[in-house]
């Protein structure tokens, strides 16, 4: 339900005259409510104003009453008659009011607080949030498995707490990531950026991006698998129970509120699922989009650094040159000076370089014409009929010799063949000829090891199927990898020409799709 025009009046205290005073008083009422003081008298407000550290002019009772009245008129405060301390008839007939913060006033001040916090809080790529989400889904699966055997069914309180923690952590992850990517783009575009600070910051930023990308690749596959496991239990009953728990303490629950709460949880889960699980139509999850954006930022940062270094070496900047030229035009004493600056800067003088016939050239040699002469004042230039008809002049004479590129073509063919042999050797080096384990692989050369890493990365970032297998293919569709985790297995060691790598052991089947199909 959208706010009405009267309810939106609660934000007027931010732009009115003496907005600082209004803001301070509303903040006093919000702090009082947070400490369970629901009503304040004007004298209480004056005492809290005196105790505040804000550098504002002192207010007395007469100055305060118009401010409180204005806040009541805008809907931030509510005024109630105060007869609690009346001791005489005169005091009874004198207006005495208690002031209380309204729901609209509280919502407006909390919205402004959130606005200010978001402005100053930096964006971040939260690898810790990924770990928390994985752990939360694990706890949820444990609760769902226990509910299947427990006579009382699902522990709704624990499930509700886990789902709310998951929702909050996911919202924080996505919000902070959006802010970080926006700030990163402004950093790359060099908007209001100190260049020396940027060069020093670049290495740390690239390390930060690479670490997050690696963690996201591993976490996404695990989270996607756990999301699908939760959905395989009974997601509808889980969301029904969580929505009902949300309304457990509501005084009056009607069908509309129940349906709205249930729909909110459906939307939260759909957003959560779409972030980690690839869409069946686009085959892309939002985590893939974030990972691609973070990966593209690394070369963009390197290009920005190269551009900075180029500017430092050449000491030229087209924008600075144009701004300097604009300053010269603005400070020119006369129009003639401005015209001279224009001719010197852009060289747009009358054209005297057309190809003409010999008679015209002889005439120009005998009677030269200055380059500053107007076309209206100069004699006509005679051009050849061919130039007038076609707009171009064809020179006669011998055709240029054709360059023999045979040697260069042979060299390119040899390089292409060598690269093809290297790729084929790497492909043969990773073929397993059946199912094996990573720990059983023989020592790999550099090309085969790089290809294996690409295949594993492509497979593990995809969601597992019902058999907990990850399947992926190379870009050309030639190689297929089927990767299955081995629960409880020790780490596998892969030996290469440059050292060794330890990874969680998996069963792998890497085969040539064309050969197997034939």
Asked if 422 and 447 count as a contact pair (C-beta separation under 8 A), the reply is yes
**Amino acid 389: pLDDT:** 60
**Amino acid 400: pLDDT:** 66
**Top-confidence residue, 379 or 136:** 136
| Number of Cβ within a 10 Å radius of residue 192 | 7
Percent of the chain with pLDDT over 70: 81
User: Within 13 Å, how many C-alpha atoms sit on residue 77's CB side?
Assistant: 31
Whether pLDDT at 147 is above 70:
yes
The H or E element containing residue 505 is none
Most confident segment among 72-76, 457-461, 463-467: 72-76
Stretch 57-74: mean pLDDT:
81
Whether pLDDT at 141 is above 60:
yes
pLDDT tens-digit map of 85-105: 555 555 555 567 788 888 888
CA 361 to CA 379: how far, in whole Å?
13
Residues of 5-20 as b/e, b for ≥16 C-beta within 10 angstroms? eeeebbbbbeeeebee
pLDDT band at residue 497 using 50, 70 and 90 as cut-offs: confident
> Strand 436-437 relative to strand 470-473: parallel, antiparallel, unpaired?
unpaired
CA 515 to CA 518: how far, in whole Å?
5
Percent of the chain with pLDDT over 90: 2
Whether pLDDT at 298 is above 50:
yes
> Strand 506-512 relative to strand 77-81: parallel, antiparallel, unpaired?
unpaired
Asked if 63 and 91 count as a contact pair (C-beta separation under 8 A), the reply is no
User: Which long-range contacts does 188-197 make (Cβ < 8 Å, 24+ apart)?
Assistant: 188/297, 188/300, 188/301, 188/304, 190/304, 190/308, 195/308
Whether pLDDT at 406 is above 70:
yes
Whether pLDDT at 243 is above 80:
yes
**Amino acid 350: pLDDT:** 52
**Amino acid 193: pLDDT:** 53
Residue 310: both structure tokens together: 């180029």
Mean pLDDT of the chain: 79
CA 7 to CA 74: how far, in whole Å?
8
Stretch 288-306: mean pLDDT:
78
CA 348 to CA 327: how far, in whole Å?
20
pLDDT band at residue 191 using 50, 70 and 90 as cut-offs: very low
pLDDT tens-digit map of 221-234: 888 888 888 888 88
pTM, rounded to two decimals: 0.47
Stretch 200-228: mean pLDDT:
81
Stretch 138-156: mean pLDDT:
84
CA 65 to CA 102: how far, in whole Å?
18
User: Which long-range contacts does 370-375 make (Cβ < 8 Å, 24+ apart)?
Assistant: 374/350, 375/350
Contacts of 239 (CB under 8 A, 6+ apart): 262, 265, 266, 269
CA 148 to CA 232: how far, in whole Å?
13
pLDDT tens-digit map of 250-281: 878 888 888 888 898 888 888 888 888 877 66
Q: Bridge-partner residues for 100, per DSSP? A: 78
Residue 390: both structure tokens together: 């076609």
**Amino acid 317: pLDDT:** 65
pLDDT band at residue 321 using 50, 70 and 90 as cut-offs: confident
**Top-confidence residue, 86 or 195:** 195
**Amino acid 422: pLDDT:** 81
């Amino acid at each position: 339900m959208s706010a009405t025009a009267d309810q939106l009046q609660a934000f007027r205290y931010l732009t009115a005259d003496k907005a600082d005073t209004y803001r301070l008083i509303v903040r006093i009422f919000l702090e009082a409510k947070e400490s369970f003081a629901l009503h304040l008298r004007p004298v209480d407000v004056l005492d809290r104003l005196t105790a505040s550290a804000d550098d504002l002019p002192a207010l007395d009772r007469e100055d305060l009453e118009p401010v409180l009245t204005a806040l009541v008129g805008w809907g931030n405060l509510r005024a109630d008659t105060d007869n609690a301390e009346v001791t005489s008839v005169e005091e009874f007939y004198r207006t005495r009011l208690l002031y209380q913060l309204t729901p609209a006033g509280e919502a407006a001040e909390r919205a402004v607080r959130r606005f200010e916090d978001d402005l100053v809080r930096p964006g971040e790529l939260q690898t810790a949030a990924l770990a928390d989400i994985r752990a939360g889904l694990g706890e949820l699966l444990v609760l769902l498995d226990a509910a299947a055997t427990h006579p009382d069914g699902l522990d709704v309180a624990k499930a509700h707490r886990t789902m709310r923690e998951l929702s909050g952590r996911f919202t924080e992850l996505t919000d902070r990531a959006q802010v970080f990517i926006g700030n990163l783009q402004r950093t790359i575009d060099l908007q209001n950026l100190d260049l020396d600070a940027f060069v020093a910051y670049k290495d740390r930023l690239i390390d930060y991006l690479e670490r997050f990308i690696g963690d996201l690749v591993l976490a996404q596959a695990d989270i996607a698998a756990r999301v699908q496991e939760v959905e395989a239990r009974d997601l509808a009953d889980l969301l029904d129970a969580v929505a009902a728990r949300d309304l457990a303490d509501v005084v009056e629950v009607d069908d509309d509120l129940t349906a709205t709460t249930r729909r909110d949880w459906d939307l939260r889960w759909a957003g959560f699922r779409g972030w980690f699980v690839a869409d069946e139509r686009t085959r892309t999850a939002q985590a893939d989009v974030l990972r691609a954006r973070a990966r593209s930022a690394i070369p963009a940062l390197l290009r920005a650094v190269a551009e900075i270094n180029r500017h430092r070496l050449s000491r030229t900047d087209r924008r600075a040159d144009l701004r300097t030229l604009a300053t010269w035009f603005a400070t020119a004493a006369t129009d003639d000076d401005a015209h001279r600056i224009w001719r010197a800067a852009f060289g747009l003088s009358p054209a005297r370089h057309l190809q003409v016939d010999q008679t015209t050239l002889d005439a120009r040699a005998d009677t030269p014409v200055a380059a500053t002469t107007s076309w209206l004042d100069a004699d006509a230039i005679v051009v050849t009929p061919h130039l007038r008809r076609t707009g171009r002049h064809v020179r006669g004479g011998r055709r240029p010799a054709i360059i023999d590129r045979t040697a260069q073509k042979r060299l390119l063919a040899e390089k292409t063949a060598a690269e093809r042999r290297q790729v084929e050797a790497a492909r043969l080096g990773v073929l397993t000829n059946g199912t094996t384990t990573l720990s059983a692989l023989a020592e790999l050369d550099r090309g085969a090891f790089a290809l294996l890493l690409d295949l594993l990365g492509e497979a593990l970032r995809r969601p597992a199927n019902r058999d907990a297998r990850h399947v992926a293919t190379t870009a050309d569709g030639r190689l297929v990898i089927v990767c299955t985790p081995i629960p409880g297995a020790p780490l596998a060691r892969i030996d290469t020409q440059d050292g060794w790598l330890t990874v969680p052991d998996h069963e792998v089947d890497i085969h040539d799709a064309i050969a197997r199909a034939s």
